[in-house]
Amino acid sequence: MATTSHMFMYSLTIQPPTAVTQAVLGQFAGTKEQQVITASGSKLTIHRPDPTLGKITPIFSQDVFGIIRSLAVFRLAGSNKDYLIIGSDSGRITIVEYVPSQNRFNRIHLETFGKSGVRRVVPGQYLAVDPKGRACLIASVEKNKLVYVLNRNSQAELTISSPLEAHKPQTLVFAMTALDVGYENPVFAALEVDYSEADQDPTGQAYEEIEKILVYYELDLGLNHVVRKWSDPVDRTANMLFQVPGGADGPSGVLVCAEDNITYRHSNQDAFRVPIPRRSGPTENPERKRTIVSGVMHKMRGAFFFLLQTEDGDIFKVMLDMAEDENGQLTGEVQGLKIKFFDTVPVASSLLILKSGFLYVASEAGNHQFYEFEKLGDDDEEVEFSSDSFPADPTAPYEPVFFRPRPAENLNLVESVNSLNPLIDSKIVNLTEDDAPQIYSVCGTGARSTFRTLKHGLEVSELVESELQAVPSAVWTTKLTRSDEYDRYIVLSFTNGTIVLSIGEIVEEITEDSGFLSTAPTLAVQQLGEDSLIQVHPRGIRHLLADHRVNEWPAPQHRSIVAAAANERQVAVALSSGEIVYFEMDADGSLAEYDDRRQMSGTVTCLSLGEVPEGRVRSSFLAVGCDDSTVRILSLDTKNMLENMSVQALTSAPSALNIMAMADSSSGGTTLYLHIGLYSGVYLRTVLDEVTGELSDTRTRFLGAKPVKLSQVSVQGQTAVLALSSRSWLGYSDIQTKSFMLTPLDYAGLEWGWNFSSEQCLEGMVGIQGRNLRIFSIEKLNNNMLQSSIPLAYTPRRFVKHPEQPLFYIIESDNNVLSPATRESLIRDSQVQNGDALSLSPAEFGYPRGTGHWASCIQVVDPINSNEVVFTLDLDDNEAAVSVAVVPFSSQDDESFLVVGTAKDLEVSPPKSKGGFIHIYRFQENGHELEFIHKTKVDDPPLALLAFQGKLLAGIGPILRLYDLGVRQLLRKSQAPVVPSTIVGLQTQGSRIVVSDVRESVTYVVYKHQENVLIPFVDDSISRWTTSTTMVDYETVAGGDKFGNLWLLRCPNKVSEEADEDGSGAHLVHERGYLQGTPNRLELMVHYYTQDIPTSLHKTQLVAGGRDIVVWTGFQGTIGMFVPFASREDVDFFQSLETQLAAQHPPLAGRDHLIYRGYYAPSKGVIDGDLCEMYFLLPNNTKMTIAAELDRSVREIERKISDMRTRVAY
Amino acid sequence: MADKLRTLQNLEALQARYIGTGHADTTKYEWTSNIIRDSCASYVGHNPLLSYMSVGMGDSKEKVRTMMLEKMVRGAGNPPETQE
């Protein structure tokens, strides 16, 4: 540990970011089916849209350990498979294909062109591909453009040329697209601004005269050379380009989208311009110009159109008018441009139109939406605006045009994909009295904001719930013959009887002729051989033959059967005397008892026979659990029948056993497992060697307080284990990694469960809960975080929990949005005039906007009982809430008050305001309502508030101030300027306060009670633009910054002790400051780049019995954690695993892993768990190579990796 | 001497290739312009940062992106008058 930090953390992602930077569409599998690839943070995910179900599901996701900046799709001529180009921060261009057979991405080309990192002049920001797949252009924001020629060699493999340069210094690129020119030389269009003259002209005139230019770059394929072919000035405010189909499909050229207008431009065509219609309505500002923020072009059978979206979310359909000659043939000449309102959807970062008639909206904020096209807005009432009435000259004035927004007519929402982005704040508390805490978060922007509860669990859909007359003890389902496709009987066992139900159109009781013994409880039911059934009951075994004959094997006298296990050929029962009797089916279909009985040492509590492996006549193992806390594996081979093969000692008596084959990540195929449930509520899973019967690789999990019951079920085509304790759990293999997952079901606690299969429900389960019989199924295994959301009014900024009640107080504010009061007065005025009011739901259409206005409120949310917003308090006077705290004031007998800090007339950039206020509210009705007490004016917005020793601490600009509650306002008690810039966060323990500054990291301040002074005594040597912090112990603080770093800082021991010395603190005050700061500096313990901006950090536990970990949430919806390492050996192991993985399986986009994690400052004291978990995705031979390098087995490595996660989280 | 020359050539190559590489006579205006342009390019390139700002400003990401690029055009404003 000499050269490294003495603190090590294991960083893991619990939930990857859900914000989509860009989404692209293509036939990546090489079939007709289209897939969607999205880039979110460093994750590249491929989704399959299902047109029949109207759903979109992720099929594979990979972390590329780099920043994905742009994606582009291309296809070589004559091929039917699309390739993906990734523009990232690696300074390299990456071409990737999706391999459907392995469900993996495969990198084909990786060409280095520049420095790594997101830089001004290193290409990667813009990516454009020739529609015929012959060339691509990758460009930077300024100056550099590189053209790569794509081709194929004689083996039909994709080749890539060396880059051709098309640089132009001091030129900024606003947008870029490829032109559709058919098979002529590829042309790329760019929107450029040359600032060289403005930089030389002191009068500023050159700046005023700067033009935005549309430039065509042509790649001459013959000369292998790029030329600037054509350039022409366009609207100065232009920000986007869209490709217009060319060649046989259209006139070619581009649409130039600027503020308030869209222009069609091409080198050999006239320009046509249409304005972007503005919303009309009483609350709309008629002067406000709209810009296009996203859009999509769609081609279909000779026609094409554009759907372009404004920042309000309104989609407009834009079409081109083509000239025709006398014969009605298209001349290829453009006659005009038409625009009309289509529908309104959430503002998108990418819009995709699928051939199957769906629209995928990758939302900028909130859930991603999947729409189905009802129609294409062809013949509706909407007013169409044509370019005929508007001048094409970008400088010529024109009359603005208006439309009326209306509910969607053309699009029908079929699925909303949950997205936490932007995740603004979170709390981790246990309010439901489950064994694990839930994550409460506030997400989204504007009227689509939500309060979300996240819970670890699988979603269950219930099919049947019916109450029975008595409380059943167990339930089974069974087929009648081997060839039955579905289960036919449900057998219910009660304490004194058995009931048989038949499954058909309806489920009904069979009163006669089932052959089952109805006067005794049942221990096991099994379909045996071809067409017979057995029922095991305490007095014997009943063999029901197909011809209604019944063979009964009675238990020996004075003994009863206590446990039974059976499969389709074998039956084993345990007697109360501890004997095991074994039966096997004869060739004639009758049960034959094996001559010898095996005497066990103690009472047998449970038995299990595995299924008969395919092609064999018997399962060769019998697992026997005894009350002496052991499990023994007995052989069932004829050579050594009922002999001991292995034994496993347990911590408690086993309550259930199950041998089953499950998918296994280590071997790649399936492996036989023995699942063991204990009376103590512990569940174990061990590997059962198929030859020797030895047990190895035991993994343990605590499930709950009750004895565990196990049953084999089938979910999504895979064998899974249903484990029941005080909660119900499902053990299954993760769909991607095939590693074993154990997730609780979001369902009532079951006492017994069994597999259930019928025509209506192929893969269901039947369970008992009290006197209820429940039939349910699990539809999704790819999402083990359940979300429920409550809509909020505006963008949430922060929230706090009521000190006792399960209530949350959320402060919300929206910039440039009219407040409810202004809106109402505008509507009232308009009603006076014309009396019509159109109410549009803000959740779909957003709020009316007005520059400089703020809409802000405080909402009280009850996520437990009523699941809704219970109280809303709007702020007036253009105040925006910026901070919130619950403070118990000792001067008021420790009564807690809600304190809200607001800013008046806040301007965000550059930051400016007319001061702020601190509002005090009293909790009424158990916190369900708030009563305003008073507000106190302060000079700057109070961005941080904290309850501190019965008083209120507020960060006002750079000043930390201590307030007490007075009758009319807050009373200043003490204050000190403690940070250089602006206080944005406060944390406390004891008399120590950790103050975070907006750009100067954290400062520790001590409060000297006797002297009533606040003294900063230690700060940081690096400027960190802190977003959120939490104290992990008295000396250490964990925090995140705006650039996406996470860090832990620790105060040196000596400094810490000195600060807390008794006395006046004079020695602290008089100590000489060091380099314009405090006298001391913090030590950096851990540093790590996460890419996502941490918005909240918590030191908490996530699972019952887990250790304390640091959980953080990221702005784009990431939930991650830092797990402290307990031992040095683990650190060494994971460090070498990291090295091996980075070397054997370098990141997809070509970024060096270590450099990526040390983007802003070298990564320190952190093992990247996400990289370690890549091990699961590797092909088997690479796994073995790495395992050999590390001198361990594959299984051991996988176990270590999965233990790191499951021990503390999900 | 040759070494010195090579260093100079290397420096010139760097300056040509990477805008913002300083030299002995970098003015305050050049330097601040560079800082502003580098910062804005970084805001545009780092997607989380861009959405963070867009949520703060209550504008869409594309509008914030365009605004940042416009700031790059402006740089540090008009250059100072040159005294000849």
Question: Could you tell me the two tokens for A766?
Answer: 């039947």
Chain A hits for B55, Cβ within 8 Å: 365, 422, 424, 445, 795
The whole-number pLDDT of residue A2 equals: 42
Contacts 24+ apart (CB under 8 A), A532-540: A532/A589, A533/A478, A533/A480, A534/A566, A534/A571, A534/A591, A535/A491, A535/A498, A536/A561, A536/A564, A536/A566, A536/A571, A536/A573, A537/A498, A537/A561, A538/A562
Provide the whole-model pTM: 0.93
ipTM score? 0.95
pLDDT category of residue A613 using cuts at 50, 70 and 90:
confident
**Best of A141, A314, A1113 to disrupt the B interface by mutation (most B CBs within 10 Å)?**
A141
CA triple A961-A965-A968, angle to 5 deg: 110
Q: Which of residues 239-258 of A touch B (CB under 8 A)?
A: 239-240
Cβ of A199 under 8 Å from any chain B Cβ?
Answer: yes
Contacts with A225 (C-beta within 8 Å, 6 or more apart), sequence order: A164, A219
Q: Are A854 and A815 in contact (CB under 8 A)?
A: yes
Specify which residues A551 forms β-bridges with.
Answer: A543
Which of A418-432, A634-648, A802-816, A1120-1134 is predicted least confidently? A634-648
Euclidean distance between CA atoms A1027 and A999, whole angstroms = 9
Percent of chain A with pLDDT over 70: 99
The residue among A489, A356, A396 whose CA lies nearest residue A36 is: A356
| Number of CB atoms found within 10 A of residue A1128's CB | 11
A304 pLDDT higher than 80: yes
A712 pLDDT higher than 90: yes
Q: Cα distance from A89 to chain B (closest Cα, Å)?
A: 9
Cβ of A172 under 8 Å from any chain B Cβ?
Answer: yes
Euclidean distance between CA atoms A44 and A350, whole angstroms = 15
The whole-number pLDDT of residue A834 equals: 58
Specify which residues A451 forms β-bridges with.
Answer: A442, A790
Which of A437-446, A511-520, A791-800 is predicted least confidently? A511-520
Euclidean distance between CA atoms A439 and A785, whole angstroms = 10
Cα dihedral across residues A935, A939, A944, A946: positive or negative: negative
Chain A hits for B58, Cβ within 8 Å: 445-446, 795, 814-817, 908
Per residue in A929-960, pLDDT (tens digit) is 999 999 999 999 999 999 999 999 999 999 99
Residue contact A119–B41, C-beta within 8 A = yes
Size of interface A-B (CB pairs under 8 A): 146
* Phi, psi torsion values for A1203, nearest 5 degrees: -60, -40
B9: enclosing H helix or E strand: helix B2-17
Cβ of A314 under 8 Å from any chain B Cβ?
Answer: no
Euclidean distance between CA atoms A630 and A604, whole angstroms = 10
pLDDT category of residue A5 using cuts at 50, 70 and 90:
low
A739 pLDDT higher than 90: no
The whole-number pLDDT of residue A827 equals: 85
Question: Could you tell me the two tokens for A937?
Answer: 């004016």
Question: Could you tell me the two tokens for A423?
Answer: 């995740």
Cβ of A1091 under 8 Å from any chain B Cβ?
Answer: yes
What is the C-alpha radius of gyration for chain B, rounded to an integer number of angstroms? 17
Chain B hits for A421, Cβ within 8 Å: 51
The whole-number pLDDT of residue A229 equals: 94
Q: Are A1009 and A1072 in contact (CB under 8 A)?
A: no
Euclidean distance between CA atoms A15 and A12, whole angstroms = 9
The whole-number pLDDT of residue A3 equals: 47
Please name the member of B17, B47, B75 whose beta carbon is closest to the beta carbon of A21.
Answer: B47
**Best of A22, A173, A199 to disrupt the B interface by mutation (most B CBs within 10 Å)?**
A199
Helical H segments across A335-416, by residue range? none
What is the C-alpha radius of gyration for chain A, rounded to an integer number of angstroms? 34
Contacts 24+ apart (CB under 8 A), A573-581: A573/A523, A573/A536, A573/A541, A573/A607, A574/A600, A574/A604, A574/A607, A574/A624, A576/A603, A578/A602, A578/A603, A578/A604, A578/A626, A580/A604, A580/A607, A580/A622, A580/A624, A580/A634, A580/A642
Q: Cα distance from B4 to chain A (closest Cα, Å)?
A: 25
Q: Which residues of B touch A (CB under 8 A)?
A: 17-20, 33, 37-38, 41-42, 44-49, 51-63, 65-66, 69, 72-75, 77-82
Please name the member of B19, B41, B51 whose beta carbon is closest to the beta carbon of A422.
Answer: B51
Residue contact A364–B63, C-beta within 8 A = no
Name the residue of chain A whose CA is nearest to B58's CA.
A815
Euclidean distance between CA atoms A877 and A894, whole angstroms = 31
Residue contact A445–B46, C-beta within 8 A = no
Specify which residues A492 forms β-bridges with.
Answer: A475, A499
A422 pLDDT higher than 80: yes
Name the residue of chain B whose CA is nearest to A846's CA.
B58
**Best of A142, A798, A815, A1092 to disrupt the B interface by mutation (most B CBs within 10 Å)?**
A142
Q: Beta strand A1013-1019 with A1080-1081: parallel, antiparallel or unpaired? A: parallel
In the DSSP assignment, the letter for residue A390 is S
The whole-number pLDDT of residue A831 equals: 72
Name the residue of chain A whose CA is nearest to B82's CA.
A202
Euclidean distance between CA atoms A767 and A462, whole angstroms = 11
pLDDT category of residue A137 using cuts at 50, 70 and 90:
very high
Cβ of A795 under 8 Å from any chain B Cβ?
Answer: yes
A794 pLDDT higher than 50: yes
Question: Could you tell me the two tokens for A361?
Answer: 């909206």
Cβ of A125 under 8 Å from any chain B Cβ?
Answer: yes
In the DSSP assignment, the letter for residue A910 is T
Peptide bond into A910 cis (omega under 30): yes
Helix, strand or coil, per DSSP, at residue A469: coil
Contacts with A1039 (C-beta within 8 Å, 6 or more apart), sequence order: A996, A1001, A1002, A1024, A1026, A1027, A1028, A1029, A1030, A1046, A1047, A1048, A1049, A1094, A1097
The whole-number pLDDT of residue B1 equals: 60
Euclidean distance between CA atoms A378 and A342, whole angstroms = 10
Please give the span between the terminal C-alpha atoms of chain A, in angstroms, as a whole number: 30
pLDDT category of residue A1 using cuts at 50, 70 and 90:
very low
Specify which residues A1030 forms β-bridges with.
Answer: A1038
Cβ of A911 under 8 Å from any chain B Cβ?
Answer: no
Please give the span between the terminal C-alpha atoms of chain B, in angstroms, as a whole number: 33
Please name the member of B48, B77, B81 whose beta carbon is closest to the beta carbon of A1093.
Answer: B48
Q: Beta strand A145-152 with A164-165: parallel, antiparallel or unpaired? A: antiparallel
Chain A hits for B41, Cβ within 8 Å: 118-120, 141-142
Please name the member of A207, A422, A1091 whose beta carbon is closest to the beta carbon of B74.
Answer: A207
Look up tokens 């040509």; give the residue. B16
Contacts with A191 (C-beta within 8 Å, 6 or more apart), sequence order: A173, A174, A175, A176, A212, A213, A214, A215, A234, A238, A239, A240, A241, A256
Average pLDDT score over residue span A780-799: 92
Residue contact B63–A311, C-beta within 8 A = yes
Q: Cα distance from A241 to chain B (closest Cα, Å)?
A: 13
Which of A270-274, A970-974, A1079-1083, A1204-1208 is predicted least confidently? A1204-1208
Residue contact B33–A1116, C-beta within 8 A = no
Q: Are A671 and A661 in contact (CB under 8 A)?
A: yes
Please name the member of A21, A142, A814 whose beta carbon is closest to the beta carbon of B58.
Answer: A814
pLDDT category of residue A357 using cuts at 50, 70 and 90:
very high
pLDDT category of residue A1005 using cuts at 50, 70 and 90:
very high
Per residue in B26-41, pLDDT (tens digit) is 899 999 999 999 999 9
| Number of CB atoms found within 10 A of residue A1092's CB | 30
Average pLDDT over chain A reads: 92
| Number of CB atoms found within 10 A of residue A546's CB | 13
Contacts with A159 (C-beta within 8 Å, 6 or more apart), sequence order: A150, A151, A152, A153
Q: Cα distance from A1159 to chain B (closest Cα, Å)?
A: 12
Residue contact A120–B56, C-beta within 8 A = no
A346 pLDDT higher than 50: yes
Residue A833 gets the label, from left (phi > 0), alpha (psi -120 to 50) or beta, of: alpha
Cβ of A846 under 8 Å from any chain B Cβ?
Answer: no
Please name the member of B45, B56, B72 whose beta carbon is closest to the beta carbon of A125.
Answer: B45
Q: Identify each DSSP E strand in A368-420 by its residue range.
A: 368-373, 384-386, 402-403, 411-417
Q: How many residues does chain A have?
A: 1210
Euclidean distance between CA atoms A493 and A798, whole angstroms = 53
Percent of chain A with pLDDT over 90: 74
Contacts with A1139 (C-beta within 8 Å, 6 or more apart), sequence order: none
10 Å CB burial of residue A839 (0-12, 13-18, 19+) is exposed
